[in-house]
Amino acid sequence: MEHLISPAHSMILGFIPGWLISFLYVIVGVGLFAYIIAKRLAPLVKAAPDNSRFSTIPARLLNVLIVWLGQIKQPRYMFAGVLHIMIFFGFMTLALRTCSLVVIGMFPDFALPGFGADQPIGAVYTVVKDYAATIVFLACFVAAIRRGVFRPARYAVPEKYGHDHTSEAVFVCCIIMGLMLTESLFEAVLVAAGHDAFLAPLTLAWGLSKLFASAPHGLLQFLHVVAYYAHDTLFFFFLCFLPLGKHFHVITSLFNVLFMRVQRGNIKPVVYGITAEGLDDLTSFGVKKIEDFTWKHMLDFYTCADCGRCSDQCPANLVGRPLSPRFITIKARDLMFKNYPLKGDMLKSQPLVGSIYTADEIWSCTTCGACEQECPLGIEYIDKIVDLRRGLVDEGEVPQSLQKPMKALGKRGNPWGKVEKKRADWAKDKEFAAECSVKIMENGDSADSLYFVDSITSYDDRMINIAKCTSKILDAAHEDFFILGKQEKDSGNEVVRFGEEMLFQQLKDQNITAINESGAKKIIASDPHAYNALKNDYPELELPVEHISEVIVRKIKDGTIKLKSVQDSTKIYTYHDPCYLGRHNGIYDDPRDAMAAIPGLQMVEMKKNRDRSLCCSGGGLMLFYEPHEEERMAVLRVQMAHEAGANVIVCACPFCMVNMEDAIKVAGLDDQLEAIELTELIEQHMER
Amino acid sequence: MEILVCVKRVPDSAENEIEMNAEGNDIERDDLVFSVNEWDNYAVEEAIQIVDKVGGSVTVVTVGDDESDEVLRREMAMGAAKGILLNDDAFEGSDAKGVATILKGCVAKGNYDLVLTGAQADEGGAAVGGMLAAMLDYPYASLVNKVELGEGKLTVSREIEGGNQEMNSIDLPCVLSIQTGINEPRYVGIRGIRQVSGVEIPELSAADLGVDAATVGEAGVKAKKVDYFVPESGDGAEMLEGSDSEIIAKLIEILKANGGLQ
Amino acid sequence: MAQVFAYLVHNDGVLDDSAMELVVAAKAVGDDVTAIVTGSGIDAVADAAAQIFPKVIKVDDAALAYPNAEVVRKALVTIIPKGSVVLFANNTFAMDCAPGLSIKMDAAYVSDIIGLEADGTTLKTIRQEFGGEVNTHVDVDAADGAVVTLRPGTFAPDESKAAGGSVEAAAAGDMSAKRTFIEIVEPEAGDVDITKADLLVSIGRGIEEEDNIEIAHELAKAMGAGAEVSCSRPIVDAKWLEPSRQVGTSGCTVKPKVYMACGISGSFQHMGGIKGGFVIAINKNENAPIFQVANVGIVADILEFIPELTEALGDL
């Protein structure tokens, strides 16, 4: 049988050489793509700088390897994740083939070096890419059915956030299927026409070749050329379509993951590289308009694939607060597209809060980090929310409910405005002092270990028991420790997260001065918020910081602390991971190990645990904020504990305790569930 | 519109635990923290909002010592253009009338269309605004919770009993005492205060104001605070016992005695 | 002591109950006691005042139809001789009128007193400061007269209404004013500000069910205009009441005269929102922490006790 004429040697419409058409495709396609990308990069050039993204390169390369190439986050949503992995690796495989095809349109015998059909790699690759195309085709087919017909809830777009995104998603699935189909058809008709080539069995190309096995030569020749240009058209269309929507991530994801956050737990500075003195000279604080974001945060906006995982995990979204992290991104991306159009003049930007965001939306975030933990693309939310809050604080737009505690923090160093000299009153309680004597800095005492108590554990009538239990545990562990007493100020973990940077700086400076003066060699915290702030937000403080759960486990292991059998062996315990211990600092095992060390203690896990733990609605200033919500996070959480079969929920955070104890009453679970703090549980079970 | 807002530095009620001193004749003043009187803060916010609408400027004034500088700067950080400190040894110990007399001197030195005060301050006298207006022969409205601007006059709403609002028309210039809740005062952080830290605040004495020293300060006080004391109440609650009707009878007496029934 | 005058307020043609208390206070200051009523068409009010006071001066003028403080002040300055003591019940009218009156009369001024005795020309008074956390003794030199406003509830009212006093009409004089009354705007339903209430009936988990909230509303209604229903956080969380009614560190900070905590255990977070006032706690748990901080405690089931109290108040 006569061989087919390659597209390059065909005469299109009878008189235009195919190679010329192919060449024009490349020129126009690549040119248009370059133009669009240049336009897309324009706002990034005007954005706030962030040089931190160019350091710690090994860690960044590791992220690329694990998060981007390794697709590590994808299987957290199994079905969608596996589909994505199939498409991702299919794309990676087919990228080579697509590049070759573009050249083949001009030089029909072209093959990448080593990839000739008669070379071993080439032969293997031919088989692999045929299967890849088939898998991608099928995966996209399933994905399109899933998105278009079954419509999982997490992709829904609430009315207030604009139009539905289903059609774009299904459209893209169809384009990809078209790409796979045309590429396979291009190959298949060659074989059908008697071309000597191997088609792997059960692939799309193989099936098509069988379908057209008895087709007339003229039809095969026609299909060969049409398939080629259909593929070329789809390819360049797709390339230029990518930067217009959520599929921009196909291009940006590699860079976004490379530049994603490496350090955890801390908050970005107001301006990268600024000194404390420099802060005073800034004319404006935080993010007020789109150009105030850093280039990385803008890249985040471009990179969002609209998968909805962040919002699906977001506790604020769950309880009906006016915040959905997904739309923080999508709304900003759409604004960037609108203000920096592909053609025409750039638009002058408006304040973000009041146009695309509402103040309630920005204050609704508990900074729990569930969204960032989930995002497969390394998109950040907390820093953006904090930057937006900084902007609001700078304009004086702070909810009334937060103004009083902020003022009290400035005047008294704690959000309730309690007097400083009573900060160590819990330690002076007679009954407790008889049992455990705590060294206090104001009495001229010092020691190697500083127990940083923080505000709620110092002042709240209920939570001071955590301070007492922590002290007894440290005592039993033979830790020589002291507290700062009236010289301790609030750690400011929430102050910085609520955007009151200068107040945070003041609290931090006061604490660092006191700590340095005290001569402490290390710090122990029982409150995860204090632990996080001291460890991650006090870069000037060079002392090691430990959470009490780490101390407990260490001391159990070395035999200093011995635990007796569980007091009530019929009780079933579950552990609630506090955000600032778990997600932000990776301490998931120590509290569990400490509990497991109590002989006979029965433990179950809740549906959401470890890095998917559900925030209790937050601590610090969050206690004072009055959100608009339909349910309370902690109520959902205690119900989850109840469903898991637990009758004791163990928290390792005073704020979680406040919220859980309240929620147990609200949920009407008083008779079936109790909350206890980890230090209380351990103290109860210590052998003395 | 040129607006003068009279503010006061007071012990912050939210951030102090009021205790008696060792002698038992005054409150313990060592550990008190001070801030601007809450009502005054609403007054300044209202003034700023008015000026934002119709132009003009806001001046804040206080009768106080050097430490009162901080509350003036705080209010300037909110948006007041100018601060004036009325400071003289002769002013010390002034009562409401004395303060009103001093403020009158300050009003006379400016050209204000509107004078605002907070409805009350730490001592709960709620008197300075009304006295100042009477001294100036300006019309006055107390407990104002809404201000609408008109030509040469204002429409103001007074918060009266039962949640009712009493609407009045009042000619300018006038004095208004502002009730909390009229607006949502903006937040002032440390940053805002630092930005106005270098602004010069003029200080005026009795002589500058043309105030007769004998009419102000302790000399002018007719209502003298003798001492402080803690109203008697034992440890824990006094438990009412007896039959339900006896308890209810006692309770109604208690409600009446404490102003809970009118 | 000089002459004593009491300015009486009235609403819709009905004399305010504070008159019965003002007469007691006035007599505590001096023997020559006169009430003043102003308004338009107020014969009935003046007669009612004469049952309480030995002497009543009425100023009946169309310009006084609404008690515009500026106009009333002019009338009072005309009528009251210099050197007199003038008493007001401390209310929003007194806050509007009394301070300026003291200036025009060149008299001493003391407001919102909760105790009053006369000692020669000195009035020995008691006032509250810091939201009622401490009291002060204030000695007022009334030699040149004094204007005093009295917190309702300071004196037990004289309810005998047997004064049989005389009514004398006085001319109003110049009634021009730079401030004019327009109208009264009543609050919209659901527009509640518990921070301004004099008395709070505050409910907690002891109310048990949403349907029971009505008994708290009925009690507040029986207690009068200054009473409102407030609550602790669980009630708001259960959406039984709107968040604007929540008392506590995460809710409103309130300073009522009386706070009735009904079925509230008294958590730190809740008590942090109460910045003054007399606290009455009703709880069926005798060990509830609220009893440690309340002034008066009653061990009772609020679901039974509140309706009984409401009924008793209705009988008053």
Distance from CA of B147 to the nearest CA of A (A): 21
pLDDT digits (tens, 9 = 90+) for C89-123: 998 999 999 999 999 999 999 999 989 999 999 99
Chains linked to B by 3 or more Cβ pairs within 8 Å: A, C
> Bridge partners of C56?
C35, C167
d(CA C316, CA C311): 9
**C152 and chain B in contact, CB less than 8 A:** yes
Residue of A416, A626, A665 lying closest to C272 (CB–CB): A416
Residue B205, min C-alpha distance to chain A (Å): 30
Q: CA A508 to CA A538: how far, in whole Å?
A: 7
CA distance B248 to chain C (A): 6
Provide the H-helix boundaries in chain C. 18-29, 43-50, 69-79, 92-104, 213-223, 233-237, 268-271, 290-293, 302-314
Write the residue in A393, A402, A412 that is nearest to B33 by C-beta. Answer: A412
- HSE-up of residue B213 (Cα within 13 Å, Cβ side): 9
Determine whether the interchain pair B185/A403 forms a contact, defined as Cβ–Cβ distance below 8 Å.
yes
Q: Chain B residue closest to A410 (CA)?
A: B190
Q: How confident is the model at residue C154 (pLDDT cuts 50, 70, 90)?
A: confident
Our CA-based measurement puts residue A395 at a distance from the nearest CA of chain B, in whole angstroms, of 8
To the nearest whole angstrom, how far is the Cα of C250 from the nearest Cα of chain A? 5
Give the whole-angstrom CA distance, residue A566 versus residue A557. 18
What CATH number has the domain bearing residue B91?
3.40.50.620
Span C162-184, pLDDT tens digits: 899 999 999 888 889 999 999 99
Query: Nearest to residue B134, comparing CAs of C85, C6, C109?
Result: C109
Mutation target for A interface from B15, B67, B70, B71: give the one with most A CBs within 10 A: B15
pLDDT band of B259, cuts 50, 70, 90: confident
User: Chain C neighbours among B 203-262 (CB < 8 Å)?
Assistant: 222-231, 233, 236-240, 244-245, 247-249, 251-252, 254-262
pLDDT confidence tier of residue C129, bands split at 50, 70 and 90: confident
Q: Which domains does chain A have, with CATH numbers?
A: 7-244 (no CATH), 276-394 (1.10.1060), 414-555 (3.40.50.1860), 572-684 (3.40.50)
Q: Could you tell me the end-to-end alpha-carbon distance of chain C, in angstroms, rounded to an integer? A: 36
Q: What pLDDT shows up at residue C101?
A: 98
Yes or no, beta carbons of C249 and A632 under 8 Å apart: no
Name the interface residues of A facing C (CB cutoff 8 Å): 401, 404, 416, 460-462, 623-624, 626, 632, 635, 658, 662, 665-666
* Beta strand residue intervals within A61-203, DSSP E: none
Residue whose pair of structure tokens reads 């007469």 in the numeric block: C23
The residues near A662 (Cβ < 8 Å, ≥ 6 apart) are A634, C233, C234, C237
The residue ranking higher by pLDDT, C277 or A556, is A556
The set of chains that have 3 or more CB pairs under 8 A with C is A, B
Which chain B residues have a beta carbon less than 8 Å from that of A408? 14-15
For residue B162, pLDDT over 80 is answered with: no
Confirm whether B260 is domain-assigned: no
The Cα of C194 is separated from the nearest Cα of chain A by a number of Å equal to 15
Is the residue at B17 inside a domain? Answer: yes
Q: What is the pLDDT of residue C131?
A: 61
Q: Which amino acid is at A592?
A: R
Fill in the DSSP letter of residue A464.
Answer: H
pLDDT value at residue C291: 83
As a whole number of angstroms, the distance between CA B162 and CA B96 comes to 28
* Residue A100 to residue A107: CA distance in whole angstroms: 10
- Tell the burial category of B11 from Cβ atoms under 10 Å away from its Cβ (0-12, 13-18, 19+): middle
pLDDT for A429 equals 93
**Reduced 3-state DSSP string for A534-597:** HHHHCCCCCCCEEEHHHHHHHHHHCCCCCECCCCCCCCEEEEECCCCCCCCCCCCHHHHHHHHC
**CB C34 within 8 Å of CB C22:** no
Task: Kindly report whether the peptide bond that precedes residue B173 is cis, defined as omega within 30 degrees of 0.
Answer: yes
Interface test with A, best of C210, C264, C267, C290 (most A CBs within 10 A): C267
Instruction: Indicate yes or no: CB of B187 within 8 angstroms of CB of A403.
Output: yes
Residues B146-159, mean pLDDT to the nearest whole number: 95
Better-predicted residue by pLDDT, C315 or A513: A513
pLDDT above 50 for B234:
no
For residue A403, list chain B residues with Cβ-Cβ distance below 8 A: 185, 187
Residues spanned by the domain of B74: 2-220
> Which pLDDT belongs to residue C217?
93
- Tokens 């300026």 appear where? C100
- Token readout for A356 is 């695309």
User: Does B251 contact C196 at a Cβ distance shorter than 8 Å?
Assistant: no
**Are the Cβ atoms of B163 and C152 closer than 8 angstroms?**
no
**Domains recognised in chain C with CATH numbers:** 4-169 (3.40.50.620), 194-314 (3.40.50.1220)
Q: How many CB pairs under 8 A join A and C?
A: 26
| Residue of B238, B245, B260 with shortest CB distance to C223 | B260
Which positions ≥6 away from B224 have C-beta within 8 Å? C138, C139, C140, C141
For residue B233, pLDDT over 60 is answered with no
Bridge partners of residue B224, in order along the sequence: C139
| pLDDT score for C288 | 75
> Tell me, what's the ipTM?
0.88
B124 falls in which pLDDT band (50, 70, 90)?
confident
Give the β-pairing of A439-440 and A481-483. parallel
For chains A and B, what is the number of CB pairs under 8 angstroms? 59
Nearest to B223 among C98, C138, C298 (CB): C138
Alpha helices in B112-220, H assignment, sequence order: 128-136, 190-195, 206-209
What residues of chain A lie within 8 A of the CB of C266, using their CB?
A: none
β-pair type (A481-483, A449-452): parallel
Chain B residues contacting A via beta carbons under 8 Å? 12, 14-17, 31, 33, 35, 78, 184-192, 194
- Domains: count for chain B: 1
Question: Can you list the residues of chain A whose pLDDT is less than 50?
Answer: none
